[in-house]
Chains A and B, each alone.
Chain A
Amino acid sequence: MQEAPMSFKARAERALADPTLKLAIDRTTGTAERKRAVAMTQFPQFEAARECGKRIKDHVIAHLDHYLLEFERNAIASGAKVHWARTAEEASQIVVSLCRQAGAKRVTRVKSMLGEEIGLPHALDEAGIERVETDLAEHIVQLGGDRPSHIVWPSMHRTREQVSEMFKRSHRAPHREETIEAMVDSARRELRDKFLSADVAISGANFLVADTGATCTVTNEGNAELTTTPPRVHIVTAGIEKLVPTTAHAFAMLRLLVRSATGADVTQYTTFHCGPKQPGDRDGPEEFHIVLVDNGRTRMLREGLKEMLRCIRCGACMNHCVVFRQLGGHVYGGTYPGPMGAVLTPVFDGLKSSRDLPHACTLNGKCQEVCPVDIPLPTLLRGWRDRSWREGLEPASMRVGMGLFTFVASRPRLYRLATAVAIRVMRLFSRGGTVRGMPGLGAWTAHREFPAPAERSFMAMYKDLEKGQ
């Protein structure tokens, strides 16, 4: 990740200075926000569905050991091979060695955020295995040599002009017309034979169905089934929190997921995978592997982030986040951006390197309001701030300042005096109702005026009034 040495603030400033990026963000998140709003008006049962979805996830998490074992048992019975991975490295190494065992030269991949989380693209590239991303957005990300900037629209940061240029440079028979339709067609032509000639397919899962051992993937393009059907081997990687008790529970979650993500009622393709090719089947892989990944999830369970395990990766929180909509996803520096990423990245990358993420938030609560499983994101973000403070990661100036403020504010008479002095100082710097050039106010006044205070504080004037009565 080329931008790792840059600080969060530097990355943020670079993004803020990029009008093309802002345009791209507004187009995608704006459309998503509008479509979700329409979907909500057509689904008055949303609140009840949301409550149910939240309880399903809480139930599964409360009995996670039971559901993991039930899933494993049924998956094995269906002919799947189940693998367990404690860490990201372990997970990607399992996948790489399965590819090696299969003698894979070319693997096709269906977009999966867990795959990004465990560093799979990098691990496959390192192992010298040709990796073909088949999701259109991931294809664009691969051609651009960068990272996903949104969990639902990974190439959200690219404008159509940029995509057109990339396709012309790298497709064998690129589009001639400058329309999005023609570009989509170009990708269709380019990827078609790669689907059919891959040795291994790798996908993620939106749900793991405990009582059948099936994995469920939801997509819109049809690339997932084209990817996972032809190769000899299909590998699914999934986080252990993806479990649902039954297919019916998966449907209850699906209604929430799709409306929150794209505003559609369901995705075009909802596919359940259960084991390898069965006798008589016309097509399908001979081997079906499932890699169950922990990578910090059991730690979240123990360390007060249980509620975050409800997340179904719909992206609504970022689409509605004022900060994300200014910055886009790359600034967050981790696999997951936006509010949910600001909660998750400290889990994966450590708080020290990511302490800006939970702080760069106004705690306005919109993310929780739109979250289809009612995750208290602001509370969880504040929890990281609390931890950052306790672990001494906050700057000394902040700690001293807050201590001093508390000392004064817990002594009302001293506080009155301090207020009077502060007013006096601010008024010294005031002209035309505005405080100008006052040291310490630069962060505010760089961008907006700071209104001058009244001559005396409320408490001082009120006291005089009382006396006068």
Chain B
Amino acid sequence: MTQPQSASRPPSPPRVGLFVTCLVDAMRPSVGFAALKLLRDAGCRVEVPEAQTCCGQPAFNSGDTADTAVLARRFIEAFEPYDYVVAPSGSCVGMTRAHYVEALADDPAWAERARRLADRTYELMSFLVDVMHFTPAGVKLDATVTYHDSCSGLRELGVYAQPRALLDSVSGLSLMPLEGNDVCCGFGGTFCVKYPAISNAVVAEKADAIDRSGARLLLGGDLGCLMNMAGKLKRKGSRVRAFHAAEVLAGMGDGPAIGEER
């Protein structure tokens, strides 16, 4: 692997706890394996803690702070031993980085542990670029792609340039601009099933914009949003196929897309 050594590079090899997220675990394991491969390629010692389940975001966003706190404590216990915690999702990382402290506010000792863990928790692509200074090598995919910036990653974590920088290293790939790339797709976790009609109107506009981009593939960094958009694209008969960006970066872009038979 050829990559520039940087002064800010962590003591190698860092021990990374991979949180695959509950959605990737149950619905699309390939995203987890892609993350695993990318982190290993970047020179990390990756472990996947057995005790991981869900970060508690559905409970938090439903206003159920007590249950959130239960899951937050579990998460902290599972991931505290690692140098870094990495997940292929802006929204789960946003949850642990930005909101665990809020959810545990009543319990100063746990809030402090949450704060310390938050500083070491990263969204996959920002970790690869900002911490590991990693560039994937030898990945090829002949495709026109467009990129949706999922809201939590973009606004809570500032993930914008990193996926683009990584995708830039994939040969044959050309990135088409997406009108409203930073506009919410209407997923919103439980929102999409609590208010299905509103969610549908939002994702319908998003799917139209994706079609107008002229790209053949839709990429993003959050499986929830991707399932929402892919599901809508398929329902409207669009030919655009959707992948998690990590899959493309790990060289799995020629496999079945989200919602395709495997």
Contacts and interface: CB of A to CB of B under 8 A. Distances in A.
What is the size category of the interface that chain A forms with chain B? 35 or more
Contact of B195 (A9, A363, A433): A9
A192 interface: no
Given A327-B198, A365-B156, A433-B261, A444 B193 contact: yes
A448 to B, nearest CB: 3
Contact of B202 (A322, A384, A444): A322
Contacts, number: 196
Interface in A379-433: 379, 382, 384-390, 394, 398-399, 402-403, 405-406, 408-410, 412, 415, 419, 422-423, 432-433
Contact of A448 (B189, B197, B203): B203
A362 B184 CA distance: 8
Nearest to A446: B196
A50 to B, nearest CB: 15
B231 A419 contact: no
A360 interface: yes
A409 B22 CA distance: 10
A264 interface: no
A368 B152 CA distance: 13
22 contacts: A12-B195, A322-B183, A359-B191, A360-B194, A361-B188, A363-B61, A363-B191, A364-B152, A366-B182, A382-B63, A387-B63, A389-B64, A410-B71, A419-B26, A423-B26, A448-B203, A448-B232, A452-B259, A457-B26, A458-B20, A458-B24, A458-B29
Interface in A326-375: 326-327, 359-366, 368-369
A446 B29 CA distance: 26
Given A9-B197, A459-B25, 16 more contacts: A12-B198, A322-B183, A363-B61, A366-B184, A389-B63, A389-B64, A406-B59, A412-B51, A423-B26, A433-B256, A443-B192, A443-B194, A444-B193, A448-B235, A458-B24, A462-B32
A454 interface: yes
B61 A405 contact: no
B143 interface: no
Contacts of A454: 27-30, 262
A443 B52 CA distance: 28
Interface of A: 9, 12-13, 16, 322-323, 326-327, 359-366, 368-369, 379, 382, 384-390, 394, 398-399, 402-403, 405-406, 408-410, 412, 415, 419, 422-423, 432-434, 443-444, 446-454, 456-459, 461-462
A12 B201 CA distance: 11
Contacts of B24: 458
Contact of B151 (A327, A366, A406): A366
Interface string B55-98: 01011111111010011001000000000000000000000000
B62 A394 contact: yes
A190 B152 CA distance: 50
A90 to B, nearest CB: 33
A382 to B, nearest CB: 7
Given A382-B61, A452-B259, A362 B32 contact: no
B74 A410 contact: yes
Given A410-B74, A451-B258, A458-B20, A364 B61 contact: no
A385 B63 contact: yes
Nearest to A431: B261
A362 B227 CA distance: 15
Contacts of B71: 406, 409-410
B128 interface: no
B231 A362 contact: no
B48 interface: yes
Contacts of A422: 26
Contacts of B189: 362-363
Contacts of A398: 62
Contacts of B195: 9, 12, 359-360
Nearest to A466: B48
A458 B59 contact: no
Contacts of B156: 365
B197 to A, nearest CB: 5
B37 to A, nearest CB: 12
Contacts of A459: 20, 25, 48, 50, 52
Given A448-B203, A459-B20, A433 B191 contact: no
B53 interface: yes
B227 A322 contact: no
Nearest to A391: B63
Contacts of B67: 402-403, 405-406
Given A451-B259, A458-B33, A459-B20, A360 B191 contact: yes
Contact of B29 (A405, A406, A443, A457): A457
A384 B258 CA distance: 35
A368 B156 CA distance: 11
Query: Which 7 residue pairs of A and B lie closest in terms of their CB atoms, listed nearest first?
Result: A362-B188, A385-B63, A448-B231, A389-B63, A451-B259, A458-B29, A364-B184
Contacts of A443: 192-194, 196
B50 A412 contact: yes
Given A361-B191, A402-B62, A457-B25, A412 B151 contact: no
B260 interface: yes
B235 A449 contact: yes
Contacts of B152: 364-365
B122 interface: no
Contacts of B28: 451, 453-454
A448 B155 contact: no
Nearest to B258: A451
A433 B259 contact: yes
A385 B188 CA distance: 14
Most buried by B among A398, A422, A450: A450
B231 A16 contact: no
A250 B28 CA distance: 54
Contacts of B22: 409, 419
A322 B184 contact: yes
Nearest to B204: A447
B228 interface: yes
Given A454-B30, A457-B29, A459-B48, A447 B232 contact: yes
B197 A16 contact: yes
B53 A412 contact: yes
Nearest to B188: A362
A365 B53 contact: no
Contacts of B64: 389, 399, 402, 406
B169 interface: no
Contacts of A409: 22, 53-54, 56, 71, 74
B163 interface: no
